[in-house]
A and B are shown apart, each in its own frame.
Chain A
Amino acid sequence: MTHIVSVQQVFKNYTLGTFVVPALRGVSLDVEEGEFLAIAGPSGSGKTTLLNLIGCVDTPTKGLVRIAGNATETMSERQLTRLRLHTIGFIFQSFNLVPVLSVFQNIELPLLLQRSATTKERRARVEALLDRVGIREYASHRPSELSGGQRQRVAIARALVTRPKLVLADEPTANLDSVTGTNILDLMKELNRTEKTTFIFSTHDARVWSYASSVVRLADGQIVDRVTAEEAVRAGGVPGQPSPRAT
């Protein structure tokens, strides 16, 4: 199998005044294409930092990050931006839609940044995704006119519109109620299955694990283990977390 993501002995330190705070301490992780991988851990465990490094929005203090065969440490800022645009889709905890654009325009935005598709192609692709995420009738609405679940569907559609090899989702259900969260996870899982897109998402919601093909458990900036969803549930949660309830 090909590794879409390969993280080797990555360290990441943040400097706060005179203090150096280690966020990741020697993390190594390989993710294969088509995986639906959850990164689990309590707050401050380094989930988001790891996602940032995989998403090329941050650079490691030390170590190697390889995305779709690209050694990110050798790439310029401009090249990293192009890599994100063409290879990675992002789903944010707070949806992060552009408030002044319509749903259609928000989804279309990455395609416009790519400047490769024709207007007709863009329209077709956006409309197909609107159908897939079930918000066709809201195409002309502004994000402020949608519910949280609908917004996250827009965010998912935006993440998938460029047909990326990898989608990163940072706590995608954190701001959603349980029913909506479940629907969003169903949608993501379906897209993973049908589009063969690799999904990596961070979460500390145990319900989410059952959707994952494997769960990487983080604590204090280090990977504790990498287990299947069932093993993770059986192990009684991640370090420092209460035992997950059966979903």
Chain B
Amino acid sequence: MRGYLDTLKVIVVIAFRNLFASRLKTLIVGGIILFGSMLVVVGTALVDSVDASMSRSIIGSVTGHIQVYNAKSADELAVMGNFQMEGADLEQIDDFKTMREALLKVPNVKTVVPMGLSGAMVPAGNSVDVVLEKLRDLVRRQQAGEDVKAAIPSQKDHVRQIVAVLATDMANVGKVLNDKAVAPEERAAIARATAPDFWDEFDQDPLGTLEFLENRIAPLASDADMLFLRYVGTDPAAFAKSFDRMKIVDGTTIPPGRRGFLFSKWMYEGQVKLKTAHRLDVIHDAILKRDKAIATDPDLQRLVKQNATEVKEIMLQLDSQQTDAFRAKLQKELASQESDVSKLLAEFFRVDDGNIIRRYKFFYDELAPSLTLYRVRVGDTLTIKAFTKSGYVQSRNLRVYGTFTFEGLEDSHLAGNLNLMDMVSFRELYGFATPERDREIQAIKAAAGLKEIDRDHAEAELFGAQPSEPESPAAVATVDDADAVLRGLAGKHRRERREDQAYDPAQLEQGVVLNAAVIVRDPRRIPQTMRDIEAAGTRAGLTLKAIDWQKASGLVGQFVTMIRYVLYISVLIIFAVALVVINNALVMTTLERIAEIGTLRAVGAQRRFLLGMLLVEALAVGGLFGGIGSALGAGIVAVLRIVGIPAVNDIFYFFFSGPRLHPGLSVANLAIALAIVLVVSGASSIYPGLIAMRVSPRQAMQSDE
């Protein structure tokens, strides 16, 4: 043993002295290895940290550890979306209860949350509609004998203000473009609404005039955009319990057994809030939380410009009294004599790094209380119109119970673009039959005197020898078609009744779902649990497919895998270069030392001694510089851990699971770097080793002949 160690010592001495003998070569080779190993340590540490953060974000926000869906589905489930515009085409799982019971038999499964993903367009109404609706309400109440005389003039005044704003807007469009840019009927409508006798006409025929305003004037206000809402239908209580990062920000959660809707706070702020106010929030937060500056950030400059030019949405909300109040406040705040409130607002919103904090406070203290900040407020009823899977439109009026967010992911659109709905309403909007709906259809059928006809005997029943009683058109159709017709017939009636209507909580368990989130006890056993889940499904007569959180989240989840591949390819390229360079350096060294190698062979060195010598030489360079590179990499990671890498945008916010990533270093990161370095170094000594092994001891004799 001692002899081996001493031989190794000689090998090491020869190797190291050779390295010192060709310092430049050693430094070049070492430099490449140093950089490569540093990249591996820093890169793998960052990717692992992002992976861990992102898994927290994704698992904790919507996917759970595992997602389960019907294996017969045409598409793969992508909870957070993919490049397709439409959602994934998933087959339904008929009975959640059966699936849940089967899955809970798998030892590692902790909870199973029913789910379904879909999207809908929601008409949120524009600010003119809101004002006109208020005026219509006052008129109705007046006609019903209520004393609202004092309130009507103020509301009328607000409408006149709106019409004036729209008229100015139209005049500006005409100036900037040309008169043809404005349609003649729009011009005529504005002309009529601004005519002095229009409001006299209103007093005589308020409902007729309101209809004109609603149909011809309201559409001219361009803030009437639709909300596109992606939502997950689920059992709200089970969801909140399983995804413990979820917290209610405004209002309450959807009470058990009630239909309802929860906005994601991110979506609520970004889509439902007054745009000017939202943009001001974004600018304010970017400066305070992300150390950005308007002076240097083009995105913030764009938001400032948008706020300064798009004051109309505020102007449309102001009646004459509010306009006067805004004028006075803004003149004082801005120390301006300008009387045009829209110009004052534009000036006010033209914020810079010096005044943003003050103006933000002023806006919320002085101006916002007079404005409707949110188009839909907690407690309002939201009409959601969605296309069912078979293509017809279903709509539901759902009460907005509140807003929610996922702790640590407040600013992330990836975590924030899914809203929440009770599973029963989801099923109805998706076009699934529910026991309640079946009962309703049966009742309508009975009331209409319909009878079901077997498809095979339909012809005989309808046109056979014994003609039946004259049939209603609906009865002539197939049962399926009849259902659709009846659904249409019953539509409005049911919509009105169902709002806020309670349902039996047992329905959550017993109905159809599209997918389910599974929370496991031990996340290290996810792959085995997925196999167990599929097997449990098969035993229960279900064709289930289980996918992990990374796959379930779609492209988002595969981001880290992609980054990992990019890192590995970079590392591969660097070390391929290193391999070639080390190999060449060693080949040159070997060729320069043919006589020496021949002498070693002559005096009794076996071939493996020579191979060992070159191997040690390569490993020494790799180990030394790889060690230094790894240590430097570890140092960089340690500094980044203290300082933190800021999330530059909301995508990184999600990937970092918060505003900053504080990467951690694991033994594995260092081990991988050193292993790669040593493997590459070892591999690069193979060819020179083969050359050395082929050197004959005769070379020693021939050296000077």
Identify which of residues 198-256 in chain B touch chain A, using a CB-to-CB cut-off of 8 Å: none
Q: With A and B bound together, what is the CA distance between A78 and B601 in angstroms?
A: 11
Chain A contacts for B605, CB-based, 8 A: 81, 113
Query: Is residue B604 within 8 Å, beta carbon to beta carbon, of the partner chain?
Result: yes
Neighbouring A residues of B24 by C-beta, 8 Å: none
Shortest CB distance A221–B (Å): 16
Q: Complex formed: what's the CA distance from A55 to B603 in Å?
A: 10
Q: Which one of A48, A58, A90, A170 lies within 8 Å of B603 (CB-CB)?
A: A90
Given contacts A57-B696, A113-B609, contact A98 B599 (CB under 8 A): yes
Closest Cβ neighbor of A89 among chain B residues: B603
Q: Which of A51, A77, A101 contacts B17 (CB 8 A)?
A: A101
Query: CA separation between A57 and B603, bound complex, in Å?
Result: 10
Q: 1/0 per residue A90-102: CB within 8 Å of B?
A: 1011101111110
A116 within 8 A of B: yes
Instruction: Find chain A residues with CB under 8 A from B18 CB.
Output: 100
Cross-chain contact B3 with A115 (CB below 8 angstroms):
yes
In the complex, per-residue mask of B687-705: 1 if CB is within 8 Å of any chain A CB, else 0: 0000000001110111111
Interface residue? A163 (CB, 8 A): no
Q: A105-B10, A112-B6 are in contact. Are A84 and B604 (CB under 8 A)?
A: yes
A56 — nearest CB in chain B belongs to which residue? Answer: B697
Query: From residue B588, how far is it (CB to closest CB) to chain A in Å?
Result: 16
B4 CB within 8 Å of chain A: yes
Within 8 A of A (CB), among B8-26: 9-10, 13-14, 17-18, 21
A15 contacts partner chain B, Cβ-Cβ < 8 Å: no
Cβ contact within 8 Å between A116 and B700: no
Query: Inside 8 A of A110's CB, which chain B residues have their CB?
Result: 603-604
The answer to whether A84 and B697 touch (CB under 8 A), given A48-B705, A93-B704, A100-B18, is yes
Contact present for B596 and A99 (CB under 8 Å): yes
Residues of A with C-beta under 8 A to B609:
113
Residues of A within 8 A of B703 (CB): 92, 94, 96
| Interface residue B370 (Cβ < 8 Å from any Cβ of A) | no
B128-159 interface (Cβ within 8 A of A): none
**B606:A105 contact, CB within 8 angstroms:** no
Q: Known: A57-B701, A92-B703, A96-B596. Is A118-B602 also a contact (CB below 8 A)?
A: no
Looking at B13, B21, B604, the one whose CB has the most chain A CB atoms below 10 A away is B604
Q: How far is the CA of A195 from the CA of B218 in the complex (A)?
A: 120
Contact of A92 among B3, B4, B701 (CB under 8 A): B701
Decide: B599 and A92 in contact? CB cutoff 8 A: yes
* Nearest opposing residue in chain A for B16, CB measure: A100
Cα distance A55–B700 in the bound complex, in angstroms: 12
Say whether A78 contacts B606, CB under 8 Å: yes
**Contact A94:B13 (CB < 8 A) given known A110-B603, A112-B6:** no
Q: Of A82, A92, A115, which contacts B7 at CB under 8 A?
A: A115
The smallest beta-carbon distance between B7 and chain A, in angstroms, is: 5
Check: B346 CB closer than 8 A to any chain A CB: no
A191 an interface residue at 8 Å Cβ cutoff? Answer: no
Write out, one digit per residue, whether chain A residues 76-90 have a CB within 8 A of any chain B CB (1) or not (0).
Answer: 011001101110011
Report A159 CB to chain B, min CB distance, Å.
Answer: 8
Docked complex Cα distance between A99 and B9 (Å): 16
B475 within 8 A of A: no
Residues of A within 8 A of B332 (CB): none
| Bound-state Cα–Cα, A99 to B596, Å | 8
Chain A CB within 8 A of B2 CB: yes
Taking residues whose C-beta sits less than 8 angstroms from the other chain, chain A's interface range is 35 or more
User: For residue A115, which residue of chain B has the nearest CB?
Assistant: B3
What is the bound-complex CA distance between A76 and B441, given in angstroms?
A: 96
Please report the total number of B residues contacting A with Cβ < 8 Å. 34
Measured CB to CB, the closest approach of chain B to A81, in angstroms, equals: 5
Evaluate contact between A94 and B704: CB separation under 8 angstroms.
Answer: yes
Chain A residues whose CB sits within 8 angstroms of the CB of B9 once the complex forms:
112
Chain A residue contacts of B3, Cβ below 8 A = 112, 114-117
Contact with B along A152-171 (1 / 0, CB 8 A): 00000010001000000010
For A110, the closest partner residue in chain B by CB is B603
Is A227 part of the contact surface with B, judged by Cβ < 8 Å?
no
Contact string, B567-596, partner A, CB cutoff 8 A, digits 1/0? 000000000000000000000000000011
**Which residue, of A55, A109, A117, A175, has the highest number of chain B Cβ atoms within 10 A?**
A109
**A55, A105, A113, A116: which has the most chain B beta carbons within 10 Å?**
A113
Instruction: State A4–B9 Cα separation when bound (angstroms).
Output: 34
Q: Is A9 an interface residue (CB 8 A)?
A: no
A residues 32-64 touching B (CB-CB < 8 Å): 48, 51-52, 55, 57-58
- B10 near A55: Cβ-Cβ < 8 Å: no
Cβ–Cβ contact B7 & A84, under 8 A: no
Other-chain contact of A82, B4, B601, B604, B700 (Cβ < 8 Å): B604
| B602 lies within 8 A of A86 (CB) | no
B601, A81: Cβ atoms under 8 Å? Answer: yes
Nearest CB on A from B611, distance (A): 14
Known contacts A57-B696, A84-B604, A99-B596; decide if A109 and B10 are in contact (CB<8 Å). yes
Q: A86 to B604, Cβ gap below 8 A?
A: yes
Question: CB distance B603 to A85 under 8 Å?
Answer: yes
Chain A residues within 8 Å of B599, by CB: 90, 92, 96-98
B262 CB to nearest chain A CB (Å): 75
B700 CB to nearest chain A CB (Å): 5
In the assembly, what is the distance between CA of A170 and CA of B6, in Å?
30
Contact between chains at A57 and B4 (CB < 8 Å)? no
- B600 part of interface (Cβ distance < 8 Å): yes
Pairwise interchain contact A84-B17, C-beta atoms closer than 8 A: no
A119 in the interface (beta carbon within 8 A): yes
C-alpha gap A101/B607 in the complex (Å): 19
Q: Are A119 and B2 in contact (CB under 8 A)?
A: yes
Judging by beta carbons under 8 Å apart, are B603 and A158 in contact?
yes
Contact A109 B603 (CB under 8 A): yes
Residues of A contacting B596 in the complex (Cβ-Cβ under 8 angstroms): 96, 98-99
Cβ of B2: which chain A residues have Cβ within 8 Å of it?
A: 118-119
In A55-75, the 8 Å CB interface with B consists of 55, 57-58
Contacting A100 at CB < 8 Å: which of B21, B607, B701?
Answer: B21
Q: Which residues of chain A are within 8 angstroms of B17 by Cβ–Cβ distance?
A: 100-101
A154 vs B599: C-alpha distance when bound (angstroms): 14
CB distance from A49 to the nearest CB of B (A): 9
Task: Give A140 Cβ to nearest chain B Cβ, in Å.
Answer: 13
Tell me, rounded to whole Å, the shortest Cβ–Cβ distance linking B16 to chain A: 8
Residues of A close to B13: CB separation below 8 A = 100-101, 105
In the complex, what's the smallest C-beta–C-beta distance from A12 to chain B, in angstroms?
Answer: 11
B606 touches A57 (CB 8 A): no
Residues of A115-160 at the interface with B, using a CB-CB cut-off of 8 Å, are 115-119, 122, 158
Q: Mark B663-705, 1 if CB is under 8 A from A, else 0.
A: 0000000000000000000000000000000001110111111
Residues of A within 8 A of B697 (CB): 55, 57, 81, 84
- Residues of chain A within 8 A (CB-CB) of B607 are 77
Q: Tell me if A114 and B604 are in contact (CB < 8 A).
A: yes
A57 to B607, CA, bound (A): 13
Report chain A residues within 8 Å CB of B704. 93-94, 175
Q: Which of B14, B595, B696 contacts A101 (CB 8 A)?
A: B14
With A101-B13, A112-B6: A52-B701 Cβ-Cβ less than 8 Å: yes
| B-contacting residues, A189-231, CB 8 Å | none
Q: Complex: how many Å from CA A158 to CA B3?
A: 18
Chain B residue with Cβ nearest A93? B704
- Would you give the shortest CB distance from A6 to chain B, in whole angstroms? 21
Check if A96 sits within 8 Å of B604, measured CB to CB.
no
Mind listing 5 A-B residue pairs with CB under 8 Å?
Answer: A101-B17, A112-B10, A113-B605, A114-B3, A116-B3
Q: Which 3 A-B pairs have the closest CB atoms?
A: A85-B604, A115-B3, A100-B17
Further pairs besides A81-B697, A92-B703, A94-B704: 6, Cβ < 8 Å: A77-B607, A81-B606, A84-B604, A90-B603, A99-B596, A162-B604
